[in-house]
Structures are given as structure tokens and as C-alpha cells.
Amino acid sequence: MKTYDFIIVGSGIAGLSYALRACRHGRVAILTKREAENANTAWAQGGIACVQSPEDSFDRHVADTLDAGAGLCPESVVRTIVSEGPAAIDELIQWGVAFDHRENGAGEDELDLGREGGHTKRRILHSKDTTGREIETKLLAAVRAAENIDLYERHFAIDLITTRKLAFASSVRCVGIYALNEESGEVLTFRSDRVVLCTGGSGRVYLYTTNPKVATGDGVAMAWRAGAEIANMEFVQFHPTCLYHHEVKSFLITEAMRGEGARLVDREGRDFVKDYDPRGSLAPRDIVARAIDREIKRTGSPCVYLDITHQPKEFIAERFPNIYETCLRLGIDAATDPIPVVPAAHYQCGGVRTDVNGATSLPGLWAVGEVACTGLHGANRLASNSLLEGVVVSRRALDDALHRAPLDRPTEALVLPEWESGDVTDVDELVVIYHNWDEIRRLMWDYVSIVRTTKRLQRAATRLQNLRREVQEFYWNFRVTTELLELRNLVEVATLIVDCAARRRESRGLHYTLDYPETDDRAWKKDTVLSRF
């Protein structure tokens, strides 16, 4: 059994920033199921939203977030995270993160702030169009150089350990975690009074997504099995502009491009989004994604187009080098050709239910970032608020952990039960796992995506029930592998999304159902909360 003061699961902005602060207080373990740099954060293009200009204000940022969140954002949570943003940005810069600057009219150097959909002011700090990669690279370098941090790469967190496993426990709390060493096949036991989930989202539960392969909802599934409350999983954000190309399936075209004047048009070049919202291409993501979905279904076209050809080639190549080069390699010159795009699953606004400090309903467990539901995003996330939430709430979560479980209090000498493999064998038919994986993702795309109906949700629930039985049979009868564990988590998260969506009998934000097309504030201006115990 390996004992630490802090155990962090995940190596994105939330987990790494938490670790860099926590290592000043005690020993830290970071578990990550692939290489550490393979995190959702590294894929973020647009940037991080934070008030930095005298023309902007916290009140404006709060108002924009509340507007996008469609009535479900607690204003106190939004105001706390927004107002603590500048201090968190200063920390990122101290850790080496380099944001783009420009020369202002007075010849002075200042941050080059971008604008994205739903924002009324320029407040997006960025590093070209690879902001997430810049943040991930610099924070990971700082973690590797820090003392007191042990980084366990290719260690897949299987399940949380709670005192329910200990016969003599008087109260239920989280006390550790089981993790699979993917290289040796051994399952290790980790012990801590402060376990923090920073595992990101669950985009891979859908057939089409902008997320990396690691985004299989592991943290939400683990927390649910351990008894933590889950909230608002029906609110899955579909990014309006994923590149439509047969060679590249998950390449995001950042919303910052629309912030620089790019317009969504049909094949005739018509700016169709204005038919749905006067803000056009800069409307919040839920509105734009539904507009594209309706337009594709109405016209039978396979995609729509993002047109930034009004900007000079030099500007596009300088501001969006990664996107420009990727498109050019595929035969699309963004300076002269509109870019073909479609919506794709992008971000989960729900997750493990927490307060603004990342504390879950299960003592000893905190959750930060996309895995968590603080309420900041409500029914629809405002663009670039996610990285902000991760870095701000990670600091609050550490302070909360030190308050609830002070380090000067001796760690209880619990002996946790070792992992029991039982009489199991290696999986002999991986094809069955891959088939179930594909079936989950396809049925979620067909029945539980941008537009839903009660009948579609019922069909999804029925099939998922059967799939869960099949997956559980595999789990108990075969030796655990990465593929099997991810499948187990995918089917769990898919079921939670469908359950939440079936309960919400209205349309709000990212949840749109043809059977209840109106918003019902009187009955449904509240979170959808699921509790297992």
C-alpha cells in the first residue's frame, strides 16, 4: 500500500496546478492513465477567459456566463470563480505559461485578448491556437522539476476505496484508490485522506467528438460507484465547428476564429445562423450547434462552412497557425476556401456534484475541472470558462482539503484491503469489447445528441441496460485491462446521461427535446441530481 498526503487522478490544468500548490504542504501522487501530456487540456485551442482589460469588468463576465448558462448558474459560484481569475492567471505565468502579447496604440506591450461566442468583450488569453498545449507543457515541466510529487504514468485508476469496505468504520468517506499498472498488469493500492479527481470529461461516449481518446468519463463513473452525487449530465456541449474531413475525425476549429470575424455559412455562402439568433455566429454554442444541426437536416448537406476569407492570409497563418497548416495539408486554404465543419461532442457541463471548493458529497473526495459540476457552466458552458474553472477551483480545493483534513492531524493507520483478482483469465475475445464500445458511441449519437425525444431516450436506456449486464459479466470474469475498464466507465456514464436527460421534461441550454420544446422555469429551474445510495 502506497500512502500519500494527496492523491490526484488526472494530469490536465486542474490536476497539475493542484499538485504544484499541494507539494508545498506534503507528498503528492499524480495518477494518469496514459502519458501525462495526453490530457484534455493539451487539446484546448481557444484560450482561457479572464477579465484583464479596463474596458471589461467582473460584472460583464458574470453576466455573460449567466446568460449562456440558461438560468442554472448560481451567481455566487460564477462571481467567485470569475473574480479569482486574475490571481490564477498570475500563477500560470509564474509557472512559465506564455500568453500572446501585442503592441497597443501607445506603443506599449499588453496581452492580446481574443473574443469568442457569448462574450461581450475581448477577454480570452491565448497562445496562438494551441493555448492548451502551452499550459500543459509548462505545468508538466514544473511538476517534473518539483520535489514531493510522484508522477505515475500509465496507471489507470479503477475504483475509489471508501470505508464501506471496512467493517469497523463509523462513517462513509473516501480513503484511497485502486490503480492498474498498465505495464505490469499489477493492481496497486493507494491510501490518502485527500483524493482529488481531475479526470476531465466523457466526449468519447459519442461517435463524433473533439476529445482525445482518454476522455472516457472515468472520474464520473468512479465517483458514482463510490456513492458521490452526480448532477446535470444531460447537458453535453456539442462544439459547433469540428472539421469535416474523411482523413481527420476529431480536429477542432476554435471558436476564436469566429471571434475574429469568421461566419458560418451554407454552401451558397448565406449566413444562416442569423435566422436563429441575431448574434449570428457569435451566439452561445448551444444555439449555434442546434442551428447547424437543423440546417444540415433541412438541406441534406453533410456539413456547413466556416468562412474567414475576408481576413488576410498573413493574419490567419499568424493567429491560427495550427488550424491553417492542418487545413492546408488536407487541401483547404482557409485564406481562400471556407472550411467544412460539423458539430461534435465537446464538453460535459454536468459531472460529480461539488461546491465551489470542489468538495463532493463523499467526504475525503474532491473533484475539479470538467469531471466536476460546480454550477459555473449551468445548462451551457460559456466558451473558454473551462480552463479558468480548473485553475481557480484547484486552488480552492486545496485550501478546503487542508481545512477539512489538516496535515497536522495524524493519518489514520487504516489497512486497506488489497485488490482481489479472483480466478480470472485474460480476455479471449477483444472483438466483443470493441463491438460494445462502438455500439455505445453510435446509440448515444443517434438517440442522445443535439436533438432528443422521449422515445429515443427510452430506446437508448433499454439497450444500455443490456450492455451494462454484458460489460459487468466481462468485468467479473476476466482480468482487468485498459480497454475493459474504459468500456465499463463508458457504459456507466452513458447511462447517467440518459437518466438525467429522461428526467428533465423541458428544453434548456444544451438539452433540447422535441417532446418538451419550451423552457419551464417553474418546474425545472433546478439541477438534475442523481444519488446511488
Domains in the chain and their CATH numbers?
A: 2-101+109-234+349-404 (3.50.50.60), 239-345 (3.90.700.10), 430-517 (1.20.58.100)
CA angle 61, 131, 441 (to 5 degrees): 90
Q: Give the number of other CB atoms < 10 A from CB of residue 207.
A: 17
pLDDT in the model for residue 314? 96
**So what's the pLDDT on residue 476?**
87
Closest CA to 392 of 30, 54, 26, 65: 65
Q: Over range 312-331, report the average pLDDT.
A: 96
To 10 degrees, the CA torsion angle through 459, 460, 463, 468? -150
pLDDT category of residue 74 using cuts at 50, 70 and 90: very high
pLDDT of residue 197: 98
Q: For CA atoms 304, 310, 313, 314, give the dihedral sign.
A: negative
- In angstroms, the CA 101 to CA 110 distance is 5
Confidence of residue 89 (pLDDT cuts 50, 70, 90): very high
Residue 408 reports pLDDT greater than 80: yes
Let me know: does 44 contact 132? Beta carbons within 8 Å.
yes
Confidence band, pLDDT 50/70/90 cuts, at residue 413: confident
**Residues 415 and 80 sit within 8 Å (Cβ to Cβ):** no
Which of the pair, 214 or 427, is modelled with greater confidence? 214
Phi-psi region of 34 (alpha: psi -120 to 50; beta: other; left: phi over 0): beta
pLDDT attached to residue 117 = 87
Q: Is the pLDDT of residue 443 over 90?
A: yes
What local confidence, expressed as pLDDT, does residue 108 receive?
A: 80
User: What is the band of 161 on the pLDDT scale with cuts at 50, 70, 90?
Assistant: very high
Check whether 87 has a pLDDT greater than 90: yes
Task: Check whether 46 has a pLDDT greater than 90.
Answer: no
Q: Over pLDDT 90: what percentage of the chain?
A: 86
- Closest by CA to 292, choosing from 347, 236, 339, 239, is 239
Question: Residues 6 or more apart from 458 whose CB is under 8 A from it?
Answer: 502
Say whether pLDDT at 66 is over 90: yes
Q: What are the residue numbers of the active site?
A: 285
Q: What is the pLDDT, as a whole number, of residue 185?
A: 92
Mean pLDDT score, 340-367: 97
- Amino acid (1-letter code) at residue 498: V
Give yes or no for residue 423 having a pLDDT over 90.
Answer: no
Q: How confident is the model at residue 347 (pLDDT cuts 50, 70, 90)?
A: very high
Give yes or no for residue 8 having a pLDDT over 80. Answer: yes
pLDDT value at 434 more than 90:
no
Q: What is the pLDDT of residue 533?
A: 87
Instruction: Say what the pLDDT of residue 285 is.
Output: 85
